[in-house]
Copies of this chain bind each other. A is one copy, B any other.
Amino acid sequence: MAKVRVHNFSISLDGYGAGTDQGLDHPLGVGGNRLHTWALKTRAGRRQVLGKPGGEEGLDNDFWLRGDEGIGATIMGRNMFGPIRGEWRDDGWKGWWGDEPPYHHPVFVLTHHPHEPIPMEGGTTFHFVTDGIEAALAQAVEAAGGQDVRIGGGVATVQQYLRAGLIDEMHVAIAPVLLGGGERLFDHLDGGAERYECVELVGSPAVVHARFTRKE
């Protein structure tokens, strides 16, 4: 059975997965970049996000790498795909990630507004799903061809899947910053959090990794 997994989802010590005022100027909200400092210090994260050599190996790098292992499709919310709200504009927006996004597999974007698929270089195609999280998951499982499906984010998307109990495993990275405001990961779960238990808690000076699985 394909699993539904969350990886490298960074939150602050006060629980925010994104800062306030998300938009084109602040894709991750004000201060949101600070949540990902740890990832840019790792060899794999540095290469993937910045396209640069260098960086550290070890625990944090291993966690970063695990986020891509065995993943055949990704689901993300519309706000993670771009800053546009409401109807799509004819502006050629193709995501934040340039011509060759780091997915290299089908990506399903949750939206209320239909959009033609966008094929990108390197194997990524953005598909747009307008009939809800379960339909998106069914399409992603099909597209993953036996591999696992990753819920990429953002906060509201992970919350929807947690609330529905559809996530099997989740890795949250807790960064040593206080944002003071924004979107909290563990909010609006309507009891969904109680279905999960922390099975691993380990860290470096840069970040703490907490792994959760759904209880039987």
Contacts and interface: CB of A to CB of B under 8 A. Distances in A.
Interface of A: 13-15, 172, 174, 176-180, 184, 186, 189, 191-194, 196-198, 201-203, 205-208, 210, 212
A180 B176 contact: no
A13 B191 CA distance: 15
A172 B210 contact: no
Given A186-B15, A208-B208, A191 B180 contact: yes
23 contacts: A13-B186, A13-B198, A13-B210, A15-B184, A174-B208, A176-B198, A177-B197, A177-B198, A178-B186, A178-B193, A178-B194, A178-B196, A178-B197, A178-B198, A180-B192, A180-B193, A180-B194, A201-B203, A201-B207, A201-B208, A202-B203, A203-B203, A203-B208
Nearest to A178: B193
Contacts of A191: 180
A162 B31 CA distance: 20
Top 6 A-B residue pairs of the complex, sorted by shortest distance between their CB atoms: A14-B186, A176-B198, A180-B193, A178-B193, A176-B201, A15-B15
Nearest to A186: B14
A189 B198 contact: no
Contact of A14 (B15, B177, B202, B208): B15
B198 A205 contact: no
Contact of A193 (B14, B172, B205, B206): B14
A194 B212 CA distance: 29
Contacts of A186: 13-15, 178, 180
Contacts of A184: 15
